[in-house]
């Protein structure tokens, strides 16, 4: 299936009527304001006409006119009361949580990758505009742009080889449609033979799933735990949180705030206590409450790798002793804004523990979103979630096709339109 076909069937989808309403543009909004501003003028005209009529009828029957005015006033009061009731009903109506559509999820990726797209893809567009022919000079400049976006040296070299082969195989002479080929090859490189990369290793119903979070301080680990808990709760699962980062000042309180916000119980001990003991208590509590998922926070003192390794090993040992084959997921939180430094952190944690997936935070805040491809291609660890904003539902399962579309949105939209014509 071609990339364009997947775009239409999976990525773009169709916005619902409610989503269309939310996407009202500035022109429509200004039209609405003009209509609203026109209403008082109509009312004034109506009032003037009414007054003239009343003056004419006053000569014939003052008492009758007084009754009419009084009745009119009562009607106005009744209309105002009805309007107030309607406004209160709108405010008090409970907001139902809607399942996001394919279209809205794709828009999140598009908006979240705006900084990368503005810096990287705009340069690619300029490159395509300057080069009418696909030659070696074009490939060399494209290579430099990809490296600047932190795609990674190995990934860029592999992509260049694939592009050169594809251009030669299809006998492509000009740059028209080249962004589609680049997109297809990037998705191929990321997925290369592996399926279900983003799915969490959830246990069958009735069994506890343990997810262990690791990562250095300051990458947004605790916030990501809260957002993941919210996501799992919205799927109908009972979630318990374990405050295992007992050494960082305020870490326990921060997790408690998130627990209160999303409605999850937090199992904790005093600051400075043994993280392994917290995990033991949390597993017992989660089992007693028949919880579906236990999400465990851990310390992130990477500057002392030996102590960190010993601590994580002890935590892992306690968890696996209480629940065989647990933890079922070890998710490493990385800050996308740190670029290549995130890759170094991933390598270090991979040596310390068996990382099963990456959660890349703050992807919306970096101009070097290509780090996703570098991590996947160099470390062979799938990126399972990405942070695309600060809202509760802005933690999204990673999707290679939506990600690549987010990188090349404008160019791909234009090529898609041309292909349909």
Question: Which tokens belong to 104?
Answer: 């809205």
**Is pLDDT of 239 > 50?**
yes
Q: How far is CA 360 from CA 112, 220, 342, 363, 384, in A?
A: 12, 9, 9, 7, 8
Q: How confident is the model at residue 244 (pLDDT cuts 50, 70, 90)?
A: very high
Q: How confident is the model at residue 284 (pLDDT cuts 50, 70, 90)?
A: very high
CA distance 132 to 129: 7
**Is pLDDT of 419 > 70?**
no
The more confidently predicted of residues 225 and 148 is: 225
Specify the DSSP class assigned to residue 408.
S
CA distance 107 to 146: 23
- Determine the 3-state secondary structure of 259 from DSSP: helix
**Is pLDDT of 223 > 50?**
yes
CA distance 373 to 383: 9
Q: Which of 159-163, 288-292, 398-402 has the highest mean pLDDT?
A: 288-292
Q: Note the pLDDT tens digit of each residue in 348-384.
A: 888 878 899 999 998 888 877 788 888 887 888 889 9
242 forms beta bridges with 267, 296
pLDDT of amino acid 211: 97
Q: Which of 133-137, 280-284, 354-358 has the highest mean pLDDT?
A: 280-284
Q: How confident is the model at residue 245 (pLDDT cuts 50, 70, 90)?
A: very high
Question: Which tokens belong to 256?
Answer: 């408690």
Give the residue from 284, 239, 245 showing the smallest Cα distance to 262: 239
The more confidently predicted of residues 416 and 123 is: 123
**Is pLDDT of 84 > 50?**
no
- In the block, residue with structure tokens 């999820």: 105
pTM of the complete model: 0.75
CA angle, 159 as apex, 153 and 162 as ends, to 5°?
Answer: 145
Q: Which of 63-72, 120-129, 156-165 has the highest mean pLDDT?
A: 156-165
Query: Can the peptide bond before residue 327 be classed as cis, meaning omega within 30 degrees of 0?
Result: yes
pLDDT of amino acid 305: 67
Q: How far is CA 74 from CA 51, 55, 64, 81, 99, in A?
A: 17, 20, 16, 11, 45
- In contact, 297 and 221? CB cutoff 8 Å: yes
Q: How far is CA 253 from CA 222, 258, 270, 373, in A?
A: 10, 9, 10, 35
- In contact, 204 and 328? CB cutoff 8 Å: no
- In the block, residue with structure tokens 């543009």: 25
- In contact, 146 and 159? CB cutoff 8 Å: yes
CA distance 268 to 258: 13
pLDDT of amino acid 57: 45
pLDDT of amino acid 389: 86
pLDDT of amino acid 242: 97
Q: How confident is the model at residue 300 (pLDDT cuts 50, 70, 90)?
A: confident
pLDDT of amino acid 201: 93
The more confidently predicted of residues 362 and 301 is: 362
CA distance 131 to 274: 61
DSSP per residue over 340-399, as a string? HHHHHHHHHHHHHS---EEEEE-GGG-S-TTHHHHHHHHH---EEEEE-SSSTT-EEE--
pLDDT of amino acid 31: 46
Q: How confident is the model at residue 4 (pLDDT cuts 50, 70, 90)?
A: low
Q: Note the pLDDT tens digit of each residue in 13-60.
A: 555 544 544 444 444 444 444 444 444 444 344 444 444 444 544 444
pLDDT of amino acid 352: 77
- In contact, 378 and 404? CB cutoff 8 Å: no
**Is pLDDT of 243 > 70?**
yes
CA angle, 267 as apex, 265 and 271 as ends, to 5°?
Answer: 135
pLDDT of amino acid 351: 80
Q: How confident is the model at residue 303 (pLDDT cuts 50, 70, 90)?
A: low
Q: How confident is the model at residue 266 (pLDDT cuts 50, 70, 90)?
A: very high
Specify the DSSP class assigned to residue 176.
T
């Amino acid at each position: 299936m071609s990339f364009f076909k997947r775009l239409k069937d999976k990525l773009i989808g169709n916005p619902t009527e409610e989503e269309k309403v939310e996407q009202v543009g500035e022109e429509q909004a200004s039209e609405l304001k003009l209509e609203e501003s026109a209403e008082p003028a109509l009312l004034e005209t109506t009032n003037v006409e009414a007054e003239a009529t009343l003056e004419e009828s006053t000569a014939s029957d003052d008492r009758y006119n007084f009754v009419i005015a009084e009745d009119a006033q009562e009607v106005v009061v009744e209309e105002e009361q009805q309007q107030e009731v309607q406004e209160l009903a709108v405010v008090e109506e409970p907001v139902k949580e809607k399942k996001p559509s394919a279209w809205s999820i794709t828009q999140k990726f598009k908006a979240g990758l705006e900084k990368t797209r503005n810096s990287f893809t705009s340069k690619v567009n300029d490159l395509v505009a300057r080069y009418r022919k696909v030659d070696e000079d074009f490939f060399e400049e494209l290579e430099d742009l990809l490296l600047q976006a932190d795609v990674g040296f190995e990934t860029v070299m592999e992509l260049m080889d694939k592009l050169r082969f594809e251009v030669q195989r299809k006998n492509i002479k000009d740059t028209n449609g080249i962004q589609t080929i680049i997109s297809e090859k990037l998705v191929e490189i990321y997925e290369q033979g592996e399926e279900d990369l983003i799915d969490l290793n959830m246990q069958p119903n009735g069994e506890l799933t343990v997810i262990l979070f690791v990562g250095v301080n300051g990458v947004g680990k605790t916030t990501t735990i809260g957002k993941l808990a919210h996501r799992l709760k919205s799927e109908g699962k009972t979630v318990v949180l374990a405050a295992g980062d007992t050494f960082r000042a305020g870490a326990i309180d921060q997790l408690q705030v998130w627990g209160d916000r999303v409605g999850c119980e937090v199992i904790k001990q005093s600051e400075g206590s043994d993280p392994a003991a917290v995990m033991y208590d949390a597993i017992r509590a989660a089992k007693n409450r028949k919880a579906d998922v236990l999400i465990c926070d851990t310390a992130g003192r990477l500057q002392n790798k030996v102590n960190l390794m010993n601590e994580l090993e002890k935590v892992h040992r306690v968890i696996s002793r209480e629940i065989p084959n647990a933890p079922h997921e070890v998710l490493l939180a990385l800050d996308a804004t740190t670029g290549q430094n995130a890759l170094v952190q991933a390598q270090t944690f991979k040596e310390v523990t068996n990382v099963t997936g990456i959660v890349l935070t703050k992807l919306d805040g970096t101009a070097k979103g290509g780090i996703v491809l570098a991590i996947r291609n160099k470390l062979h660890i799938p990126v399972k979630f990405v942070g695309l904003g600060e809202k509760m539902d802005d933690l999204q399962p990673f999707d290679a096709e939506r990600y690549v579309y987010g990188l090349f949105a404008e160019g791909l939209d234009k090529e898609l339109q041309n292909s349909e014509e």
